Amino acid sequence: MPQIGITERGDAALDTPWLEWVIDNKPTILITKNPGSLLKTLQRWDLTGAKNIIIHCTITGLGGSELEPNVPIAETSIDAYKHLIAYYGTEAVVLRIDPIFLYPMTLFDRARDVLGKRVEGGRVRISFADMYSHVAARIHDRRLEDKYSGIVTSYCSRLHYDLKLRKAALHFFPNTEICGEPDIACYGCVSQRDLTYFGLTAPNYKGGQRQACACINAKHELLTNKMQCAHKCTYCYWR
């Protein structure tokens, strides 16, 4: 079965061992919170318009805040996202709003604002924030609980938001691909749709690394780091 390279462990704009894989014309999904920087790398290597690349532009609306201290602001990233679509088209560039916080509402509204900037016909992926114990501790250590009231307590000692809350929130994000949400129908970061774009065929069976992951068993991690990247997002799953 053909393998699709992916950059889930970090950020493709910050860590570039994927370049050799892409230059070898292997199918690749690049995930980044800095699409402007990634675009410059792709231009430098004359890869703009390459048909073996799908790009996930992760834009939450939180760039520049204490939750994403080293991530570009949303307006800058949205502009780069639109430039990438001009090169690769709407099927190959995904607006990824991940994670979405349901509380406080000011954070939820930022995610909705980002959705409103999607290019017509463009793909969108969403996922809700997970509250790992080390993330809650990080929020406490950075003294963010008062500013973002409810950001921790809304989980009620759970890893995930209440299922009813998540399902209710989905009404504000219609026609989106949902990633890794327990008890909700999800769409893999590596899916049959991606295989079709790459012109590949493969058995469509699940091979995700966690229970709610809907990815088909065709992905190959291209990044080797096992720590927080330079973005230093407060909610990062890396300890």
What the block records as the tokens of 101 is 């916080």
Phi, psi of 36 (to 5 degrees): -65, -45
What does the pLDDT read at residue 139? 95
Residue pair 78/13 in contact by the 8 Å Cβ criterion: no
- 161 vs 209 pLDDT, higher one: 161
**Residue 47 C-alpha from the chain's centroid:** 21
**Is the pLDDT confidence value at 157 over 70?**
yes
Q: How far is CA 180 from CA 30, 104, 107, 114, 130, in A?
A: 18, 22, 20, 20, 10
Share of the chain above pLDDT 70, in %: 96
Token reading at 187: 């769409």
Assess whether pLDDT exceeds 80 at residue 206: no
Provide DSSP, 11-76: -TTT--THHHHHHTT--EEEEES-HHHHHHHHHHTT-TT-TTEEEEEE--S-BTSTTBTTSPPHHH
pTM of the model: 0.95
pLDDT of residue 34: 98
Domain ranges of the chain: 4-130+162-221
Could you tell me which residues come within 8 angstroms of residue 78 by beta carbon, excluding any fewer than 6 positions away? 59, 114, 117
| pLDDT (0 to 100) of residue 213 | 87
Q: What are 77-131's pLDDT values in tens digits?
A: 999 999 999 999 999 999 999 999 999 999 999 999 999 999 999 999 999 999 9
